[in-house]
Amino acid sequence: MSSTGFHGKVALVQGGSRGIGAAIVKRLVEGGAAVAFTYVSSVNKAQALQDSLNASGGKVLAIHADSADAQAICDAVDSTVKAFGRLDILVNNAGVLAVGPLEDFSLEDFDRTLAINVRSVFVATQAAAKYMTEGGRIINIGSTNAERMPFAGGGPYAMSKSALVGLTKGLARDLGPRGITINTVQPGPVDTDMNPATGDFAESLIPLMAIGRYGKADEIASFVAYLAGPESGYITGASLTADGGFSA
């Protein structure tokens, strides 16, 4: 287990039990950070991730918290600080994807999309900022669909990810004077269990990418790690795309 890069830092990852979130947790832990992460339904995966990283010498805490529940988010922030003594890095990775024809799309799905993809970012940032000092880092996981939505039925999802662009810009103004940066990473299609790089859906998306393949979760995690580190201190309020040329 490496002790460089994030040694002495504490991170909280919203939605960290699988996929991109789990890759981010691993990358930060490998860099020396103590990491708490939240999960909702993936109990076994969350426990396995926590136990495996702790067995390798890491400091990891899995916290059950629904990102649709504002109080649960605030409690997760408090629990992270209670467990590890501070909070330096917040990664807002929790998200949902609801897709459907306009005439059939329910307001319940619309509201839940906003609650998890947008409101949870604001709530977590507001709660975490109380503990952060100069050098704090906040990274939101958005989507290339903020820039390009190539199929029908994804309007509310695209809207939620576009909202992160404006939210990130605005919050950068609030946090900048305190020496805290906030940025959004906008991945393209990434090979995870929720969106595997095989099947009919992938076959329709791959031709839209300049490099002709899905991304890897580790590739997104490396980008997040850079933004979480000391060398990215002059970047804030930005929405940075890593999508294999999907939006080119």
Q: What distance in Å separates the CA atoms of residue 104 and residue 197, rounded to the nearest whole number? A: 28
Q: What distance in Å separates the CA atoms of residue 236 and residue 229, rounded to the nearest whole number? A: 13
Q: What distance in Å separates the CA atoms of residue 177 and residue 163, rounded to the nearest whole number? A: 23
CB 12 within 8 A of CB 62: no
Catalytic residue among 131, 157, 214, 234: 157
Q: What distance in Å separates the CA atoms of residue 159 and residue 146, rounded to the nearest whole number? A: 7
* 157 in catalytic set: yes
Q: What distance in Å separates the CA atoms of residue 19 and residue 16, rounded to the nearest whole number? A: 8
Torsion-angle region of 139 (φ positive above 0: left; ψ -120 to 50: alpha; else: beta)? beta
Q: What distance in Å separates the CA atoms of residue 13 and residue 89, rounded to the nearest whole number? A: 8
For residues 192, 246, 94, 172, the Cα torsion angle rounded to the nearest 10 degrees is 150
C-beta neighbour count of 134 within 10 angstroms: 8
Write out the two tokens for 236.
């804030």
Please name which of 99, 139, 94 lies closest in space to residue 117, comparing C-alpha atoms: 94
- Catalytically active residues are 157
